């Protein structure tokens, strides 16, 4: 029997098992196969996903994210904040701003201390809005803004945004009334999305405030989704409903999102907290 050390962290309730692959040898294929077991909330550690931190040839560190079903998304906003706190606590980096290699490209977090947790501001890069970038079926160089899709006989109008991973943002008067457990999987696997999609149901409260619920591809409904909050702001701006800086309220708490004009980059600021550390046998 083998053992591996881990630390569990969360960003607004979106929780992850963090593993140090810089100081230790890890087998990613084994971890992928064990992800459903380790992430199980009754028979395992319990988490929305697993994050393995490794050395990078091009950046300070490399991030591999594994969903609770064993699939691998390109990026995770809450996950990158948890990674930032983890690597600082474990002395894997010495600077408060550093670069992380992900499947979505280079991501740059900056760490600061908040009143009751570590705050992390993350440069999430440029949003991708063309159909082929997301991807969503349709003319390659066009955008899907308030586009209608039909699942199980129900019509939904959503705006497609990629923040390194695909999102379909649906504006709704009351997201709390959505049967997300039923609708989320249908939209996630709709034929319009060749790589599946994350789905957000969003109520606009003011020019600088919105409330959202999220169904995450490969993880189900979660308490928070950082890339989803970024996608919500972008979708709100391009549909004329939100200013370029707004607070996005998720079930786990708020994130501050800003879409910067000079750089066209989206900035996300929110907390990360350590829950506990331990050793798992496998």
State the catalytic residues. Answer: 76, 225
Residue 278 contacts residue 18 (beta carbons within 8 Å): no
- Cα–Cα distance measured from residue 126 to residue 214, given in angstroms and rounded to the nearest whole number: 21
- Cα–Cα distance measured from residue 221 to residue 214, given in angstroms and rounded to the nearest whole number: 6
Tokens of 16: 């992850």
- Among the listed residues 66, 13, 9, the one whose alpha carbon sits nearest the alpha carbon of residue 255: 13
């Amino acid at each position: 029997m083998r053992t591996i050390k881990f630390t569990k962290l969360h960003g607004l309730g979106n929780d992850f098992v963090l593993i140090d692959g810089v100081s230790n040898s890890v087998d990613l294929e084994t971890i992928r196969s064990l992800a459903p077991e380790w992430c199980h909330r009754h028979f395992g550690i319990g988490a929305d996903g697993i994050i393995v931190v490794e050395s990078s040839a091009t950046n300070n560190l490399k991030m591999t994210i594994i969903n609770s079903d064993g699939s691998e998304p390109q990026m995770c906003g809450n996950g990158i904040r948890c990674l930032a706190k983890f690597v600082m606590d474990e002395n894997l980096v010495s600077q408060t701003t550093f670069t992380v290699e992900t499947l979505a490209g280079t991501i740059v977090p900056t760490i600061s201390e908040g009143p009751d947790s570590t705050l992390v501001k993350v440069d999430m890069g440029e949003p991708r809005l063309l159909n082929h970038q997301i991807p969503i079926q349709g003319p390659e160089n066009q955008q899907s803004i308030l586009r209608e899709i039909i699942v199980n006989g129900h019509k939904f109008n959503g705006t497609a945004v990629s923040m390194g991973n695909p999102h379909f943002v649906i504006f709704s008067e009351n997201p709390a009334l959505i049967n997300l457990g039923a609708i989320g999987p249908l939209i996630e696997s709709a034929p319009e999305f060749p790589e599946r999609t994350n789905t957000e149901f969003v109520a606009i409260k003011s020019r600088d405030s919105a409330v959202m619920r999220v169904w995450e591809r490969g993880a189900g409904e979660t308490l928070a989704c950082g890339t989803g909050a970024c996608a919500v702001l972008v979708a709100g701006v391009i549909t004329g409903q939100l200013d370029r800086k707004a607070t996005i309220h998720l079930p786990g708490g708020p994130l501050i999102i800003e879409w910067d004009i000079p750089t066209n980059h989206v900035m996300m600021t929110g907390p990360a907290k350590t829950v506990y550390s331990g050793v798992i046998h496998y």
